[in-house]
């Protein structure tokens, strides 16, 4: 499975499971990260351009994963089409409440990956 026509913009985030969203956000803010988004089931903190998604016990859409950023929504759609055409197991491509769009797929070793478009 080779998808070389499209370039990933960057690794945008790593997502980890946490037991308590407010406590986890406070911990990472104390480390110097900026809280960008916080909801009851997940939060997003950043250090510069690098992000950390904190997935609480109520978050059911995905487990721990790596998030890859694509430059625009059309590239995201193209990546989704290419991977599904190649037989990769992919989640539906969705638009999210924070304005982003993404889908999940697994690599050959079963690691969960998120392909993500973040509007400006």
Per-residue tens of pLDDT for the chain, all 120 residues: 454 556 788 999 999 999 999 999 999 999 999 999 999 999 999 999 899 999 999 999 899 999 999 989 999 999 999 999 988 889 999 998 888 899 999 888 888 999 999 887
pLDDT at 80: 96
CA 22 to CA 40: how far, in whole Å? 9
pLDDT at 18: 98
Q: Which fold has domain 10-117?
A: 2,3-Dihydroxybiphenyl 1,2-Dioxygenase; domain 1 (3.10.180)
Q: 49 with 10: CB under 8 angstroms?
A: yes
pLDDT at 6: 65
Domain ranges of the chain: 10-117
Q: Is the dihedral of CA 19, 25, 30, 34 positive or negative?
A: positive
């Amino acid at each position: 499975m080779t998808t070389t026509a499209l370039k990933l913009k960057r690794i945008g985030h790593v997502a980890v499971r946490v037991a308590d969203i407010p406590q986890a956000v406070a911990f990472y803010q104390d480390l110097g990260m900026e809280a960008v988004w916080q909801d009851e089931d997940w939060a997003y903190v950043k250090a510069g351009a690098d992000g950390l998604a904190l997935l609480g016990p109520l978050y059911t859409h995905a487990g721990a994963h790596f998030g890859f950023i694509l430059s625009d929504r059309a590239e995201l759609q193209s990546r989704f089409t290419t991977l599904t055409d190649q037989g990769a197991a992919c989640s539906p491509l969705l638009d999210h409440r924070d304005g982003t769009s993404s889908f999940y797929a697994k690599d050959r070793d079963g690691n969960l990956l998120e392909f993500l478009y973040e509007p400006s």
